[in-house]
Amino acid sequence: MRVTMIGSGYVGLVSGACFAEFGHIVTCVDRDAGKIEALQKGKMPIYEPGLDEIVANNVRAERLFFTTQLKEAVTTADVVFIAVGTPSRRGDGHADLSYVHQAARDIAVAIEGYTVIVNKSTVPVGTGDTVERIIREMRSEAEFAIVSNPEFLREGAAINDFKRPDRIVIGTNDLRAQEVMRELYRPLYLNQSPLVVTNRRTAELIKYAANAFLATKITFINEIADLCEKVGANVQEVARGIGLDNRIGSKFLHAGPGYGGSCFPKDTLALVKTAQDADSPVRIVETVAAVNDVRKRAMGRKVIAACDGSVSGKTIAVLGLTFKPNTDDMRAAPSIDIIQALQDAGANIQAFDPEGIEQAKSVLENVIYARDAYSAISGADALVLVTEWDAFRALDLVRVKALLRSPIVVDLRNIYPPQELIRHGFRYVSVGRPEEVYHG
């Protein structure tokens, strides 16, 4: 099949490359001429493990193309995906659908013959109806169907998620469009990936509901972690104890500094706004978003407390800047709020991240970026572990202690066993594991 992907960002590029890997002919379109030129040269605009190889292989096989010329790419396509950004709208928190609406107008001008138009972007309930109305008003004679096909890609594991999905959600009542979508995803039948076929509005809500539920699990275990610190319990053991219950499950029960990234913060907020507009408020999700916002900065205060209540004039080493490992994404990363809280308290910051430094430079000021972990640690008064990159899981603790001015480690991801750090002579502070237990 001939597939056109409008938008060559994270979702569009990963999805387009994987569809090409399945054998479809895919054209990725983007208005950013610089991005397209870089992609044509094999330079990825994002860091995603394995993506550069898949792109190179399919470009070489002439199954994957990149262009700024939308009309030509859409005219020849059987399926056109809208995979543009839907950031939070400044001022009110609603999803900004201006890019989606513009894509719909561009598609309306270009489609010829029956075309399935698929919304891959994360959008509020009813957006598919709006896209259909835009195109119908511009091209009343056009033959097309609008489908909702939300993505469930985890940054850092997106290729595996696309090729081995937990489910594929297809939202449309159009039987012809359903068959086109089944054929598009037919290569996944061998993996027996469940196909959920429903109406468009339900599919749109599935995406928001999934992200809100996962954000709720994260926030729940973070609040339990705070309670554990007060009553002398261990949050990791609590998480294991409840996670073994099949009704709960063990995933997303890792206590930390709060969730970030491109999805959870904006999607929870957009769901809250959608629910308010429908006069059906989602109070739990409202609370989740509020608690998560407060938590990030509270982690800065946790670091200050570990440094005997003051970081004024001190140097703090921060390892990990991106919101999670295996990505260069800094959007809503907890490190931003933590570093800003420390800077507000008078600290100097030395930081290192394996992939996120260039992105971090655009959102963090007055930070010294080191060439590696040990350079960041050198001369610091305390070490803070913010993102659980594999590179930070087996640091040479003897070397770390020698490089630090004070043997203080604040582990916001619970990477290390407390006894190991105590044995090496560190003051070790983690999340949901009270410090006094380690000295007992």
Which helix (H) or strand (E) element contains residue 22? none
At residue 189 the predicted structure's pLDDT band, cuts being 50, 70 and 90, is: confident
On the CB side of 154, CA atoms within 13 Å amount to 13
DSSP string, 237-291: HHHHHHHTSTTT-STT----S---SSSHHHHHHHHHHHHHHTT---HHHHHHHHH
Domain boundaries, the chain: 2-198, 216-438
- Note the pLDDT tens digit of each residue in 350-385: 999 999 999 999 999 999 999 999 999 999 999 999
Number of neighbours of residue 249 by Cβ within 10 angstroms: 12
- The span from the CA of 298 to the CA of 292, in Å, is 10
Q: How far is 72 from 429, CA to CA, in rounded Å?
A: 58
What are the tokens at 49? 């493990």
The neighbour count for residue 48, using CB atoms within 10 Å, is 24
Which CATH code of 3.30.200.20, 3.40.50.720, 1.10.10.10, 3.60.20.10 fits the domain covering 2-198?
3.40.50.720
- Evaluate if residue 238 carries a pLDDT over 80: yes
Task: Confirm whether 2-198 and 216-438 share one CATH topology.
Answer: yes
- Residues 118-127 have a mean pLDDT of 96
Instruction: Please report where in the chains the tokens 């006094």 appear, as a residue.
Output: 436
pLDDT digits (tens, 9 = 90+) for 412-425: 999 999 999 999 99
What pLDDT sits at residue 101?
A: 98
pLDDT at 423: 95
Cite the active site residues.
Answer: 263
439 has pLDDT over 80 = no
56-74 pLDDT, tens digit per residue, is: 999 999 999 999 999 999 9
pLDDT in tens, 261-313: 989 999 999 999 999 999 999 999 999 999 999 999 999 999 999 999 999 99
Pick from 178, 17, 30, 9: which is nearest to 106 by CA?
Answer: 30
What would the CATH number be for the domain defined by 216-438?
3.40.50.720
What residue type is assigned to position 211 of the chain? N
